[in-house]
Amino acid sequence: MQISKDLIRGNTDTIVLNLLSQQDSYGYQVAKQIKYLSDDAYEINEATLYTVFRRLEKHQDIESYWGDETQGARRKYYRITDSGQQLLTENVQQWDFSKTIIEKLIKGSIDYDKH
């Protein structure tokens, strides 16, 4: 089973920030990590990933630099900034709160005698 891209869409920035908070990385590696962490249930497409990189870099939540590759092509690496780390913390708190509310809304039931 694969997760709906609509469910993931609003969280791609946070997913990328989480990965970059653990180590600097480049596009292909980030895509592989996402696929691995989701147990192959989600695969981010390249266009989406690079849109996320551009957006986060524009808002100064990440920064890029060119790696010094001794083998193969030079890679553009991304690292999280202090403001990106702060955004990640805020987004995770928001996710935890949202997850609780959505769980109640989807699985909860109302006791109409009490309301």
Domains of the chain: total: 1
The candidate with the shortest Cα–Cα distance to 44, out of 1, 88, 9, 69, is 9
CA 66 to chain CA mean position, Å: 22
- Using one digit for the tens of pLDDT, what is the confidence trace for 9-34? 899 999 999 999 999 999 999 999 99
**Residues 31-54: pLDDT tens digits?**
999 999 999 999 999 999 999 999
**Residue 111: pLDDT over 80:** no
- With the CA atoms of 53, 56, 60 and 61 taken in that order, what torsion angle do they form, in degrees rounded to the nearest 10? -110
Q: pLDDT tens-digit profile of 83-97? A: 999 999 999 999 999
Q: Is 113 within a domain?
A: no
User: Does residue 26 lie in a domain region?
Assistant: yes
Rounded distance between C-alpha atoms, residue 107 and residue 99, angstroms: 12
Residue 112 resides in a domain: no
User: CA–CA separation, 13 vs 55, rounded Å?
Assistant: 9
